[in-house]
Amino acid sequence: MQKFRFHVVSLPHTQTTSEYNACAYTMKVIKFCKMMKSLGHEVYLYSSEDNEAPCDEHIQVVSKKEQSKWFGENQNKSQFFKVDYDPNKEYWQTMNRRAIKEIRKRAKKKDFICLIAGLCQKQIADGLPEFMNVEFGIGYTGVFSKYKIYESYAHMHYVSGTLHDDNGYSFDTVIPNYFDPQDFPYKDKKEDFYLFIGRMIERKGPAIAAEVTRQIGAKLVMVGQGVDKKEGNKIIAKEVTVEGDHIIHMGHADIKMRGELMSRAKAVFVFSTYLEPFGGTSIEPLFCGTPVITTDWGAFPENIPHGIAGYRSRTLGEAIWATKNLDKLDPKTIRKYAIDNFSMDRIKYLYQAYFEQLNTLWDKGWYSKWDNGVSKYKRYSKYS
């Protein structure tokens, strides 16, 4: 197995600690470092002051004092992050410049620069053009790199559509999100409630979850950011209000609480009404042996086999039908499916294979593209 050196750049508004588990991209950074270190690679992490990710060196490129100035004293466990994904903002510019400077001190030929914020970190790639800059977990639309790893095929094709580009690119790939099964305890027997976990915004479908459980007379537990206030049996957020005596909102859930609730619930609702790039909350419950009930677009048709890991639905009636047929699903099969397809011990080898392919570009190149539609391959190399 080939060994590489990675320079991983995190985000300006978080610490690389589990406290920021509401930021999916910060969690991807931490777990990516874990996976690469477990394979014996060198990892250099560039982030803020506190860090839990395993690495050979942690380099601070922003301070908590600066974060306080840029983002205020935000209550990240209950409120949405205040970061603006505008590369012209001072915090992106400052972090990018410092990352370039620090990477240049440490980088050697054939190192990989791993970026997680799309166009907001393009400045880093532009400042280090002699290295391969890889976007290693794309769930956004502002892509730029020649080396792109998407979270799902659905999202890869959606991004191509938004760019009005129907060409295939040999260095685009799909590697799904990755999880530690130990974070999600398995339970055969479930309790008599359903779970919604996610941001309290309209497009995440909390109102749909509330209506499904109202119609079937079931209890609904909700957790996640964005609730402004509660008035009686009303839970009020900026975009959506849900109400009913059958609903309880438990606030923010850390990793331990998420796993505990998911393991006990009869099913987890993920009723996103947009094209989810991935939807981590649709996969996490599967490790607990808990089925999910989702919508039928975005990444869900790829990731949620209907009738095996849960049910996909397009109408309220189909969602209600799904709640009445959960006994047809096997918890052990659900957990095995999750471990076989989304565990870190599985996904790290997909990353290994991708970086080994990229590494061939330094030498003879990677046979990767048809030449003018005939069966003759054109050898591609950035450096030839």
> Exposure string (b/e) for 46-81, b if CB count within 10 Å is 16 or more?
bbbbebebebeebbebbeeebbeebbeeeebeeeeb
Bridge partners of 57, per DSSP, are 44
- Stretch 109-118: mean pLDDT: 97
**pLDDT score at 81:** 78
3-state secondary structure at position 36:
helix
- Stretch 100-113: mean pLDDT: 97
Instruction: Report the chain's mean pLDDT, rounded to a whole number.
Output: 92
Q: How far is CA 155 from the centre of its chain?
A: 12
**pLDDT score at 378:** 40
**pLDDT score at 53:** 98
131 contact partners, CB below 8 Å, separation of at least 6: 107, 111, 112, 113
Classify residue 293 as exposed, middle or buried by CB count within 10 Å of its CB (0-12, 13-18, 19+).
buried
- Tokens 């659900």 correspond to 334
Q: Does the structure show a pLDDT above 90 at 379?
A: no
- Stretch 54-63: mean pLDDT: 98
Can you give the pTM of this predicted structure?
0.92
Instruction: Considering only the C-alpha atoms of the chain, give the largest distance between any 2 of them, rounded to a whole number of Å.
Output: 69
3-state secondary structure at position 12:
coil
**pLDDT score at 78:** 55
Interatomic CA distance for residues 209 and 201, integer angstroms:
12
State the DSSP H helix or E strand holding residue 100, giving kind and residue range, or none if neither.
Answer: helix 90-106
**pLDDT score at 308:** 98
Instruction: Report residue 73's pLDDT band, with 50, 70 and 90 as the boundaries.
Output: confident
Q: Does the structure show a pLDDT above 70 at 99?
A: yes
Tens digits of residue pLDDT in 219-276: 999 999 889 889 989 999 999 999 999 999 998 888 999 999 999 999 999 999 999 9
Q: Does the structure show a pLDDT above 70 at 373?
A: no
Closest CA to 233 of 217, 224, 246: 246
- Stretch 55-69: mean pLDDT: 97
Domains of the chain are 5-178+346-371 (3.40.50.2000), 181-342 (3.40.50.2000)
Q: Does the structure show a pLDDT above 50 at 64?
A: yes
Interatomic CA distance for residues 256 and 202, integer angstroms:
26
Classify residue 188 as exposed, middle or buried by CB count within 10 Å of its CB (0-12, 13-18, 19+).
exposed
Closest CA to 267 of 223, 311, 230, 237: 311
More confident site: 17 or 380: 17
- Stretch 25-47: mean pLDDT: 98
State the DSSP H helix or E strand holding residue 95, giving kind and residue range, or none if neither.
Answer: helix 90-106
End-to-end Cα distance, the chain: 25
